[in-house]
Each structure stands twice: as C-alpha cells, then as structure tokens.
C-alpha cells in the first residue's frame, strides 16, 4: 500500500553522479518508490547559480536522468523530471522570496562556501538558492526529502519558510524533513580525506558512476594510508576511517570484519584492503555504467521519460499553486 506522505528530492546536473549521490540520495529514492508517491528531479535551474555556461548542461541533465534509472528508479512509478519543465516552481519561488530574509540567507553554509569559490559571481540566485529548493519541495506539498547530510540546513530553512507562509496565509503546506531510513543522514567522504565526495571539486577523489574499471582501481589505490597502527586497538586516523567507511558500504560483512580485526591486531595490509575495496566498487559501478549507456542511446525512451515526468509534476504543481494563490488572496473578481 502506498503511504500518505509525499516524497520529493533533486540532484544538480553540475557533473555526473558519484558514490556520494548514490548513498546520500538515489539509494533511498529506489527504496521509497514502492512505498510513497514520489517526485524526483534534475535541478537544472539551481545549476545556473554556479554554472552559467550551459555548454554541458544537456549532456549532464540527460546523464543524471539515465543514471537514476540505471540505479533502479522506475519512471512509471515516480515522476522523474527536469526542474525547468515545471514553470509553476518559479512562481512559488517568487512568493517565498518575500518570506525569506537577507540575514538568514547570508548565513547559509552553502552560500558562504560558494561565494568564496566564485567571488566574482555572487548572484542573487546563489543567495536565494534555499528558497528555490523549498519551492521545489513544497510545490508537491512533500514531507519527506531523501538527501545526504550536507542538505540538512536547507531543510531546516525550508521548514522556516513553510511556517512563515502558513502563519501568514493559512495552512497550505506540511513541514518537510530530510529523510534516511532509520539512520543518520549519509555523508560519503572524499577519497583524499578532505571533506565529502563532490561532483565538481577534486575529480581524482570522487568515484563517478561513469568511471571505467581501471579508473576506479586507480583512484582507490591512490588513497592515503600510512605504515599501519603500532598499538593494538588504537583509534583510526580520519583517512583510514574513511576507507573503512567505504568498505562498510561496498564490501561483505566478513570482509569488513577481517580488516577490522587485522587493524586491531596491527597486522593490517592496506594494499590488500584497497585492492579488495576497489574490486567491490568496480563490481557495484560496472552494471550501472553499462545500463546508463544503453538508456542514453535510446533517444525515444529518454524523451518519453522527460515528457511523462514533466506532465506528472506539472499536474501536481498546478493544484498546489491554485491553493497558494487563493491563500495569499490574489483573487480580484
């Protein structure tokens, strides 16, 4: 039976999907599609806040759509669409902008990070990024938002905007929450041990779902290790903990236990551990990469998926926008 709550999430097409996107988001999408009414989209408008050059946009949007399907998302079960195909989102964004304050937007961590990365292009879209993200979510009156840990603050802001809207104009929207099945939100570390895995930063520290087998092996074998612990049961440095974290995601339980034991007895061979991890990641990525290629080659199917997705999402958005306009009082005759 489909549960009542509505699910919504999005991914920016600023590059190809990587393991962080998979474990933070897509894995949950696939599981949620059988239990909820789901809306998943490619956030092409958001990508314009940091990537105004649209040369690669088409290829990236198409790949993100195809990769979602290759990971197990069924476009017959969910609305899988492009953000820019749902025009109503822009209108809701405009209304929400009047309920969002400069001070709180300037304090957003992602805004501060991005402003530092592109000091010559601190545009208003970047500042109001969380407002557009809120519009994406609440245009379907969604409550559950499967995302990774890095999106937690945006969800908190979304709840604030929703509370303000409801308080001022009447209860139209439920409050949305970041979602992960019974666990903390996921955060897949970057292979160089500095921060999270991300689409556009250090490409050698990120494993993409499009990487070929050799490249995956190369990236994983290059991860930082040391000469190993010298005292039994000692704490793991961050860069070693990160490899164990990846092992936990990709390898069998007994493999993880073996390396945990070896670490605790000071007999660990990091070379063997990385080789094992590389093979397990290759085995995971390869079928997804191959399915993606064949989906991308099917022009007709790609077009049908996007058209059908836009239709489902627009239908839902139109219903919400009527409620919104009525609630605000934009009715003069």
Site residues (vs ligand TYM, CB under 6 A): 8-12, 20-21, 23-25, 43, 46, 133, 136-137, 145, 147-148, 150-151, 154, 186-188, 196-198
Catalytic residue among 77, 107, 112, 114: 114
User: Rounded CA gap, 193 and 237, in Å?
Assistant: 10
User: Rounded CA gap, 224 and 246, in Å?
Assistant: 14
Token pair recorded at residue 141: 């009156």
Which is closer to ligand TYM, CB of 229 or CB of 320?
A: 320
Alpha-carbon Rg for the chain, nearest whole angstrom, is 21
Residue 199 designated active-site: yes
**CB 78, min distance to ligand TYM, A:** 14
User: Rounded CA gap, 97 and 100, in Å?
Assistant: 5
Residue 114 designated active-site: yes
Which residue do the tokens 């474990």 mark? 23
Residue 256 Cα distances to 45, 49, 244, 250, 261, angstroms: 41, 41, 7, 9, 9
Which is closer to ligand TYM, CB of 159 or CB of 275?
A: 159
User: Rounded CA gap, 158 and 140, in Å?
Assistant: 13
**CB 2, min distance to ligand TYM, A:** 20
Cβ pair 274, 223 in contact under 8 A: yes
Would strands 79-82 and 37-42 be described as parallel, antiparallel, or unpaired? parallel
Which is closer to ligand TYM, CB of 90 or CB of 262?
A: 90
Which is closer to ligand TYM, CB of 10 or CB of 229?
A: 10
**CB 202, min distance to ligand TYM, A:** 12
Residue 308 designated active-site: no
- Residue 228's region, left for phi above 0, alpha for psi from -120 to 50, else beta, is left
Which is closer to ligand TYM, CB of 191 or CB of 327?
A: 191
Which is closer to ligand TYM, CB of 178 or CB of 278?
A: 178
CA 86 to chain centre: 19
Cβ pair 177, 155 in contact under 8 A: yes
**CB 234, min distance to ligand TYM, A:** 27
User: Rounded CA gap, 179 and 222, in Å?
Assistant: 33
Catalytic residue among 77, 149, 196, 258: 196
Catalytic residue among 199, 219, 274, 312: 199
**CB 267, min distance to ligand TYM, A:** 31
Q: How many CB atoms lie within 10 A of CB 82?
A: 21
Residue nearest to ligand TYM (CB): 24
**CB 277, min distance to ligand TYM, A:** 16
Catalytic residues: 114, 196, 199
């Amino acid at each position: 039976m489909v549960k009542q709550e509505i699910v919504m999430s999005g991914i920016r097409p600023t590059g190809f999907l990587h393991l962080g996107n998979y474990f933070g988001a897509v894995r949950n999408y696939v599981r949620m599609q059988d239990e909820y009414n789901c809306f998943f989209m490619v956030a092409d408008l958001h990508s314009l806040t940091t990537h105004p050059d649209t040369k690669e946009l088409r290829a990236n949007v198409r790949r993100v759509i195809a990769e979602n399907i290759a990971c197990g998302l069924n476009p017959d079960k969910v609305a899988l669409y492009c953000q820019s195909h749902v025009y109503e989102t822009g209108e809701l964004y405009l209304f929400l902008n009047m309920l969002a304050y400069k001070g709180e937007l300037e304090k957003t961590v992602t805004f501060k990070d991005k402003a530092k990365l592109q000091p010559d292009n601190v545009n208003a879209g970047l500042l109001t990024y969380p407002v557009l993200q809120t519009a994406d979510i609440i245009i379907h009156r969604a409550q559950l938002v499967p995302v990774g840990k890095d999106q937690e603050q945006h969800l908190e802001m979304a709840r604030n905007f929703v509370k303000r809207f409801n308080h001022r104009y009447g209860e139209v929207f439920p409050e949305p929450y970041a979602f992960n099945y019974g666990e903390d939100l996921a955060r897949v570390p970057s292979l160089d041990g500095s921060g999270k895995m991300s689409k556009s930063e250090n490409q050698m520290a990120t494993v993409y779902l499009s990487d070929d087998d050799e490249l995956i092996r190369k990236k994983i074998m290059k991860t930082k290790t040391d000469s190993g612990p010298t005292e039994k049961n000692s704490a793991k440095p961050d860069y070693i903990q990160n490899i164990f974290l990846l092992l936990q995601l990709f390898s069998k339980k007994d493999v993880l236990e073996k390396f945990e034991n070896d670490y605790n007895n000071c007999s660990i061979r990091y070379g063997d551990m990385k080789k094992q991890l590389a093979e397990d990641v290759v085995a995971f990525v390869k079928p997804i990469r191959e399915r993606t290629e064949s989906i991308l080659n099917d022009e007709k199917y790609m077009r049908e998926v996007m058209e059908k997705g836009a239709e489902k999402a627009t239908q839902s958005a139109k219903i919400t926008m009527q409620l919104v306009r009525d609630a605000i009082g934009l009715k003069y005759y």
